[in-house]
C-alpha cells in the first residue's frame, strides 16, 4: 500500500513537472518532447489503475502518432525557437489567474464533494478496462457516438486529401465540360 | 509476490537483453557472410575460426573511435537520440513467448517474460516510440542531409506502421486474444500463414520498411543523403544506431514468426519443452536469412513510389485482408 502511494506520488510529480516543462520551454522541439514524456507518464498511471489497454492506446496514438506529426511540422517549418516575449500583453497574468481559479475549483470538488474519504471511492472490477470490455461497451452502449465519430474522421480525411489536391479540383470546378 | 518470482523476472530480463545484444553482434557477421556468398566473395573469415571473433574486433574498434559532436548541434538531444532508438528495440520482444514451461531445479519456470493480454498493442506502442530516436537524431545534428534523412525515415515509418498494425489484426481476430501466448497456442495444428497468406505478405513488406531495410532503406540512401540521419554520428553513438537496426531485425523476425509461423510450436515440443526456444531460433534465423537475401537481390525503391505503394496499395490490401479474415472466421465457426 505504502509503495503504491509512493509510486503514485513520483508519477504525479513527473506528470506535473513535464507539463510545466512543456509550457515554459522556449524551444518548440523540447516542448513537444516534454508533452511526449507527459503522455508516457500518464500511461503509466493508467497501468497502475489496472487499465493496460488504455495505457497502450494512449502511447500508440498520442505519443507515437500524433506527437511525431507535431514534431514533423515543427522541424519542417524550422520554427523551433520562440523569439522574445509573447506579443499579447497581460497574457501571463491572466493565465495565472485562470490557473488559480481552476486549482481552487478542483480543491473544492475534492474536499467538499467527495469528502476526501477513501471509503467514498469504489474500486471497479479488475477487468473493467480489458480489450473485450471496451469493445463491448463501444459497440453496445455507445454505438451511435462511435459511428458519428468515425464519420467525422472520414470527412476529415477526405478534406485533407482535397486540401492537398486544390489544383486539379479547382480546374474541374471551373471547366466541368473540358476535363 | 515472493522474492523468488522477482529474481526470476530479473534473470529472464537479463537473458533477453544478453540474447538481443549478442544476437546483434552475430547477425552483423551472418549478414556479411551471407551477402558475400551471394556476391561470390568470401566475406570476413580471418578473425577467429570462420570469422567468429569479427564482431568482437568491430566492437573494440568502435569503442576506441573518436566521438564528434558537430558545431551547432543540440547537445542533449544529440546524445539522447541513439539511446531513444536502442531502448525500444531492446524491450519490444519482452512479450514474445519462447516456449511452454520447463522444470528447472525443481521449479516450474514458464519460458516467457510477460504474457500480458495487450501484448500486440504493446509491440505497436513500443515500435511507434522508436521513431523518435531517428527523427531527433536527424534534427539535432544540424546537418541538412541528416535532417532530410530523419524526416524521410519518420514519414516512411509512420506510413508503414499502419499496414503493420493491420497485419496484426488477423491473428487477433482468429484467436480472440491479444496475448501472444494464446496466439501461439492457437497455431498448434495449423500455422496462421496458411490461413492468412495475404496478412503474412503484408507483414513481411511492412516490417522491412519499419526497420528501414533494403529495398526500403530510403533514410540512409548513400547516393542522395550521404548516410541519412546518422551522418554526424561516430564511435559508440553510431554503434548504437547500428545496434538498433539489427536488434529490430531480430525483433520483427521473432514477432513475425510468433504471429504467422507458429512461434515455438513444432514436433515433440509438448514432450520436450526445451525444443521450443530452438524452434523459435531456427525460424528467426531463416527469417533473417530472407531479409539478407532481399537486400542482396532488390534495388532501392524511389521515395515517392515508396509512399504511393504504402498508402495506395498496402493499406487498401490490408483492409481487404481484415474483411476476408473476419468472414473466414465466421464461416469456420467461432
Residue-range domain boundaries for chain B = 3-331
Contacts of B161 in chain A (CB under 8 A): 64-65
| Helices and strands (H, E) in chain A, number of each type | 8, 0
DSSP B300: P
- DSSP, collapsed to helix, strand or coil, labels residue A174 as helix
CA pair distance A19, B25, nearest whole angstrom:
40
Option in B118, B150, B151 nearest A53 (CB): B118
Neighbours of A102 (CB within 10 A): 10
Residue A118 lies in a domain: yes
CA pair distance B159, B153, nearest whole angstrom:
10
B121–chain A nearest CA distance, Å: 6
Per-residue pLDDT of chain B (334 residues; tens, 9 = 90+): 577 788 888 888 898 889 888 888 888 888 888 888 888 888 888 887 887 888 888 888 888 888 777 787 778 888 888 888 889 888 888 888 887 777 777 777 777 777 778 888 888 888 888 888 888 888 888 777 888 888 888 888 888 888 888 899 888 888 888 888 888 888 888 888 888 888 899 999 998 888 877 787 766 666 666 667 777 787 788 888 888 889 999 999 999 998 888 888 878 777 777 888 888 889 999 999 999 898 888 888 777 888 888 888 988 999 999 999 889 888 887 5
A98–chain B nearest CA distance, Å: 34
Residue A166 has pLDDT above 70, yes or no: no
pLDDT of residue A83: 63
* pTM (two decimals): 0.83
Residue A30 lies in a domain: yes
Cβ–Cβ gap A57/B117 under 8 Å = no
On whether any CB of chain A is under 8 Å from the CB of B151, the answer is yes
Secondary structure, 3-state, A86-144: CCCCCHHHHHHHHHHHHHHHHHHHHHHHCCCCHHHCCCCCCCCCCHHHHHHHHHHCCHH
Do the Cβ atoms of A130 and A124 come closer than 8 Å? Answer: no
Residue A142 lies in a domain: no
Average pLDDT of the residues of chain A: 80
CATH of the domain at A30: 1.20.120.1200
Domain count, chain A: 1
Look-up of cell digits 469493445? A135
Contacts of A56 in chain B (CB under 8 A): 118, 121-122, 124-125
> Would you place residue A179 in the very low, low, confident or very high pLDDT band (cuts 50, 70, 90)?
very low
Cβ–Cβ gap A63/B128 under 8 Å = yes
Residue A172 has pLDDT above 80, yes or no: no
Residue A162 lies in a domain: no
Cβ–Cβ gap B128/A65 under 8 Å = yes
Do the Cβ atoms of B315 and B163 come closer than 8 Å? Answer: yes
CA pair distance A86, A65, nearest whole angstrom:
29
More confident residue, A112 or A22: A22
- Please name the residues in contact with B97: beta carbons below 8 A apart, sequence gap of 6 or more: B110, B111, B112, B115, B180, B181, B184, B258, B263, B264
Option in A64, A71, A76 nearest B129 (CB): A64
Q: Which helix (H) or strand (E) element contains residue B102?
A: strand B101-104
pLDDT of residue A117: 59
Give the end-to-end CA distance of chain B in Å, rounded to a whole number. Answer: 36
Residue A165 lies in a domain: no
Option in A33, A56, A131 nearest B125 (CB): A56
pLDDT of residue B223: 63
Residue A80 has pLDDT above 70, yes or no: no
Amino acid at each position: 500500500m505504502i509503495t503504491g502511494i509512493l509510486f503514485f506520488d513520483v508519477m504525479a510529480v513527473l506528470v506535473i513537472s513535464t507539463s510545466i516543462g512543456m509550457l515554459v520551454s522556449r524551444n518548440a522541439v523540447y516542448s513537444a518532447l516534454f508533452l511526449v514524456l507527459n503522455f508516457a507518464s500518464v500511461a503509466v498511471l493508467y497501468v497502475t489503475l489496472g487499465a493496460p489497454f488504455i495505457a497502450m492506446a494512449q502511447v500508440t496514438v498520442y505519443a507515437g502518432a500524433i506527437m511525431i506529426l507535431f514534431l514533423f511540422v515543427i522541424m519542417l517549418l524550422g520554427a523551433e525557437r520562440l523569439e522574445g516575449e509573447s506579443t499579447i500583453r497581460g497574457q501571463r497574468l491572466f493565465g495565472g489567474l485562470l490557473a488559480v481559479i481552476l486549482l481552487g475549483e478542483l480543491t473544492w470538488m475534492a474536499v467538499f464533494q467527495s469528502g476526501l474519504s477513501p471509503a467514498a471511492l469504489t474500486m471497479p472490477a479488475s477487468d473493467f478496462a480489458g480489450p473485450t470490455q471496451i469493445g463491448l461497451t463501444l459497440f453496445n452502449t455507445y454505438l451511435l457516438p462511435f459511428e458519428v465519430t468515425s464519420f467525422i474522421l472520414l470527412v476529415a480525411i477526405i478534406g485533407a486529401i482535397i486540401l492537398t489536391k486544390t489544383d486539379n479540383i479547382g480546374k474541374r470546378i471551373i471547366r466541368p465540360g473540358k476535363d | 509476490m515472493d522474492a523468488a518470482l522477482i529474481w526470476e523476472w530479473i534473470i529472464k530480463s537479463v537473458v533477453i537483453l544478453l540474447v538481443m545484444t549478442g544476437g546483434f553482434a552475430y547477425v552483423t557477421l551472418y549478414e556479411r557472410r551471407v551477402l558475400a556468398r551471394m556476391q561470390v566473395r568470401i566475406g570476413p573469415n580471418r578473425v577467429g575460426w570462420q570469422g567468429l571473433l569479427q564482431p568482437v574486433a568491430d566492437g573494440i574498434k568502435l569503442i576506441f573511435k573518436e566521438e564528434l559532436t558537430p558545431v551547432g548541434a543540440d547537445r542533449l538531444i544529440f546524445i539522447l537520440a541513439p539511446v531513444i532508438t536502442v531502448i525500444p528495440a531492446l524491450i519490444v520482444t519482452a512479450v514474445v513467448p519462447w516456449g511452454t514451461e520447463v522444470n528447472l531445479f525443481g521449479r516450474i519456470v514458464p519460458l516467457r517474460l510477460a504474457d500480458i493480454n495487450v501484448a500486440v498493442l504493446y509491440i505497436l506502442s513500443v515500435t511507434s516510440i522508436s521513431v523518435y530516436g531517428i527523427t531527433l537524431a536527424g534534427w539535432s545534428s544540424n546537418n541538412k542531409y541528416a535532417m532530410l534523412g530523419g524526416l524521410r525515415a519518420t514519414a516512411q515509418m509512420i506510413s508503414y506502421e499502419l499496414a503493420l498494425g493491420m497485419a496484426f489484426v488477423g491473428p487477433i481476430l482468429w484467436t480472440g486474444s491479444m496475448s501472444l501466448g494464446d496466439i501461439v497456442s492457437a497455431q498448434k495444428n495449423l500455422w496462421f500463414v496458411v490461413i492468412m497468406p495475404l496478412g503474412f505478405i503484408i507483414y513481411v513488406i511492412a516490417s522491412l520498411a519499419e526497420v528501414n531495410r533494403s529495398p526500403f532503406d530510403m533514410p540512409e540512401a548513400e547516393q542522395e543523403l550521404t548516410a541519412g540521419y546518422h551522418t554526424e554520428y561516430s564511435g559508440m553513438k553510431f554503434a548504437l544506431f547500428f545496434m538498433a537496426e539489427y536488434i529490430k531485425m531480430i525483433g520483427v523476425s521473432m514477432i513475425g514468426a510468433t504471429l504467422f509461423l507458429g512461434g515455438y510450436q513444432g514436433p515433440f515440443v509438448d514432450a520436450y519443452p526445451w525444443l521450443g526456444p530452438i524452434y523459435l531460433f531456427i525460424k528467426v534465423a531463416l527469417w533473417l536469412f530472407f531479409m539478407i537475401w532481399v537486400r542482396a537481390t532488390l534495388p532501392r525503391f524511389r521515395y515517392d513510389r515508396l509512399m504511393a505503394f504504402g498508402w495506395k496499395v498496402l493499406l487498401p490490401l490490408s483492409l481487404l485482408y481484415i474483411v476476408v479474415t473476419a468472414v473466414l472466421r465466421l464461416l469456420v465457426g467461432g
